[in-house]
C-alpha cells in the first residue's frame, strides 16, 4: 500500500524546492496548488466560482486570479467558500493520480494548507518546511512581484509554524540548500527503512 507523505509549510517556506528535491530522488510528487490552478480552468469549477463570486472576477470569461485572490485573502469567509469549491476537485484528482502511482512505496502530497483543509488526515507521515519570516516574505515578493502587505495578509490566513510543527513527524529548516538536501536524504532513508524499500 502506497504511503502518503504530506509536505507542507507556510507561503515562502520553500515547499516546492523540497518537493522537487524528493522528485529528483525518485519519489512521485503531487503539488496540490499547481493542480488546483489547472482544475480552476475546468468548466465545473469555473461555473461554481461564477455562482459564488459572480462575474466580477472574470474578464472576457477568463478567471482573473489576482482579483479573486484580492477578495479571498481579505475575507476568511470568502476564502472558505473558494476552498469549498477547489478542495473537493483536488481531492478527487489526487485519488486518480494515486492510482497511477500505486506501485510506489510512497508519494509526496505537497499542499500549503494541508492542515487547514483537513488534507493531513489522509497522510501517513507529515513533513513541515519552515524558514525565518523575513526570508519567506522576501521570497514571495521576488516570486510573485507583490507587496509586503499582501504577503503578510496571506501568511496571517495560514497556520503558524508552531501549530504546524506540533502536528508534524519531521521538520525541515529551509535556509541553507545544502543542509536542506542532506535533511531530505536522511528523511528518505528513514522512510525507506520503514517501508522495507531497498
Q: What CA–CA distance (Å, rounded) separates 132 from 93?
A: 33
136 lies in some domain? yes
Residues of the chain with pLDDT under 50: none
pLDDT given at position 9: 96
pLDDT given at position 61: 83
Q: What CA–CA distance (Å, rounded) separates 119 from 189?
A: 25
9 lies in some domain? yes
197 lies in some domain? no
Of the chain, the end-to-end C-alpha distance in Å amounts to 16
pLDDT given at position 60: 85
The answer to whether 166 is annotated as binding is no
195 lies in some domain? no
The answer to whether 168 is annotated as binding is no
C-alpha separations of 17 from 20, 63, 66, 92, 181 in Å: 5, 27, 24, 25, 10
pLDDT given at position 173: 95
Say which CATH number the domain at 154 has: 3.40.50.300
pLDDT given at position 138: 96
pLDDT given at position 117: 86
Close Cβ partners of 75 (under 8 Å, ≥ 6 residues apart): none
147 lies in some domain? yes
Q: What CA–CA distance (Å, rounded) separates 37 from 185?
A: 30
64 lies in some domain? yes
Domain of residue 60, residue span: 3-190
pLDDT given at position 157: 87
What the block records as the C-alpha cell of 161 is: 509554524
174 lies in some domain? yes
The answer to whether 15 is annotated as binding is yes
pLDDT given at position 149: 93
Q: How many domains does the chain have?
A: 1
pLDDT given at position 198: 61
What the block records as the C-alpha cell of 165 is: 510543527
Q: What CA–CA distance (Å, rounded) separates 193 from 179?
A: 21
Q: What CA–CA distance (Å, rounded) separates 131 from 49?
A: 33
Contact status, residue 137 vs residue 152, Cβ threshold 8 Å: yes
The answer to whether 14 is annotated as binding is yes
Quote the DSSP letter at residue 74: T
Q: What CA–CA distance (Å, rounded) separates 149 from 159?
A: 18
52 lies in some domain? yes
Amino acid at each position: 500500500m502506497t504511503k502518503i507523505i504530506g509536505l507542507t509549510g507556510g507561503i515562502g517556506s520553500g515547499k516546492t524546492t523540497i518537493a522537487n528535491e524528493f522528485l529528483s530522488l525518485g519519489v512521485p510528487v503531487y503539488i496540490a496548488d499547481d493542480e488546483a490552478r489547472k482544475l480552476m480552468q475546468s468548466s465545473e469549477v469555473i461555473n461554481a466560482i461564477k455562482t459564488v463570486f459572480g462575474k466580477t472576477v472574470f474578464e472576457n470569461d477568463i478567471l482573473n486570479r489576482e482579483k479573486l485572490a484580492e477578495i479571498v485573502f481579505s475575507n476568511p469567509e470568502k476564502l472558505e467558500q473558494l476552498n469549498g469549491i477547489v478542495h473537493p476537485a483536488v481531492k478527487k484528482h489526487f485519488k486518480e493520480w494515486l492510482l497511477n502511482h500505486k506501485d510506489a512505496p510512497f508519494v509526496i502530497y505537497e499542499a500549503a494548507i494541508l492542515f487547514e483543509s483537513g488534507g493531513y488526515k489522509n497522510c501517513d507521515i507529515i513533513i513541515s518546511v519552515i524558514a525565518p519570516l523575513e526570508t519567506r516574505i522576501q521570497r514571495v515578493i521576488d516570486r510573485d512581484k507583490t507587496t509586503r502587505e499582501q504577503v503578510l495578509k496571506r501568511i496571517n490566513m495560514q497556520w503558524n509554524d508552531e501549530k504546524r510543527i506540533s502536528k508534524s513527524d519531521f521538520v525541515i529548516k529551509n535556509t541553507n540548500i545544502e543542509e536542506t538536501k542532506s535533511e531530505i536524504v536522511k528523511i528518505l532513508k528513514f522512510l525507506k527503512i520503514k517501508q522495507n524499500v531497498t
